[in-house]
């Protein structure tokens, strides 16, 4: 199972840019706090990073968020972004299993793992409406942020090449 920092490390740069754009536009204080925290981890003054051109700043932040020491920050940012910008995807995934949730896809009690066949059915349906990299980021995040995760989802994330985030030949985290 990938950890949140690994999800960000392997996330396509286009999605990382979407995540950072969302934070900059909708969650400015969180974006600023994240930039400050990442700069401090690297013993840099935040203004050094702030003055970089946007594309360069975002690439630097993406790289830093992919580091192990940024795992907690990465988990929080993924949650905020997915629940803020992609709540429709979250809700459709949960609806596919009849799991009650709020309008942002927040669940009180997550039930045990659905069957592998049910998961495959719901995922195949979502892949007709969402791009595979976006769905992969969501599913890996869903799995990583639950203590036990769903056993059958873990298997599908490893077996289904459409849902992989780790480039071929790169060892995935155990």
Name the pLDDT band for 174 (thresholds 50, 70, 90): very low
Closest CA to 62 of 7, 1, 142: 7
Residues with Cβ < 8 Å from 106, sequence gap 6 or more? 83
The DSSP secondary-structure symbol of 81 reads: H
DSSP reduced 3-state for 102: coil
Query: Per-residue pLDDT averaged across 37-65, rounded?
Result: 94
DSSP reduced 3-state for 100: coil
What tens digit of pLDDT does each residue of 136-147 get? 999 999 999 887
How do the residues of the chain divide into helix, strand and coil, expressed in percent and rounded to 5? 65, 0, 35
What is the structure's pLDDT at 170?
55
Question: Is residue 115 pLDDT above 50, yes or no?
Answer: yes
Identify whether the C-beta of residue 101 lies closer than 8 Å to the C-beta of residue 36: no
Write down the residue that tokens 């009180």 correspond to: 108
Question: Whole-prediction pTM value?
Answer: 0.91
Name the pLDDT band for 171 (thresholds 50, 70, 90): low
Q: How far apart are CA 161 and CA 158, in angstroms?
A: 8
Judged on CB neighbours under 10 Å (0-12, 13-18, 19+), 17 is middle
Residues with Cβ < 8 Å from 56, sequence gap 6 or more? none
Name the pLDDT band for 151 (thresholds 50, 70, 90): very high
Torsion of CA 114, 116, 117, 121, to 10 degrees: 80
Q: How many CA atoms lie within 13 A of 145 on its CB side?
A: 21
Q: How far apart are CA 148 and CA 130, in angstroms?
A: 26
């Amino acid at each position: 199972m990938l950890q949140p920092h690994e999800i960000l490390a392997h996330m396509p740069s286009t999605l990382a840019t979407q995540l950072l754009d969302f934070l900059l536009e909708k969650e400015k204080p969180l974006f600023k706090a994240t930039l400050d925290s990442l700069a401090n981890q690297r013993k840099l003054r935040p203004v050094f990073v702030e003055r970089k051109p946007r594309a360069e700043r975002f690439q630097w932040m993406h790289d830093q968020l992919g580091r192990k020491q940024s795992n907690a920050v990465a988990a929080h940012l993924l949650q905020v972004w997915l629940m803020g910008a992609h709540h429709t995807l979250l809700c459709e995934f949960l609806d596919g299993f009849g799991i009650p949730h709020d309008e942002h896809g927040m669940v009180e009690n997550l039930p045990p793992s659905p069957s592998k066949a049910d998961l495959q059915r719901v995922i195949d349906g979502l892949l007709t409406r969402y791009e595979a990299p976006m769905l992969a980021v969501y599913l890996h995040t869903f799995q990583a942020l639950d203590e036990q995760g769903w056993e059958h989802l873990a298997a599908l994330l490893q077996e289904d090449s459409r849902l992989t985030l780790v480039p071929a030949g790169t060892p995935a985290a155990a």
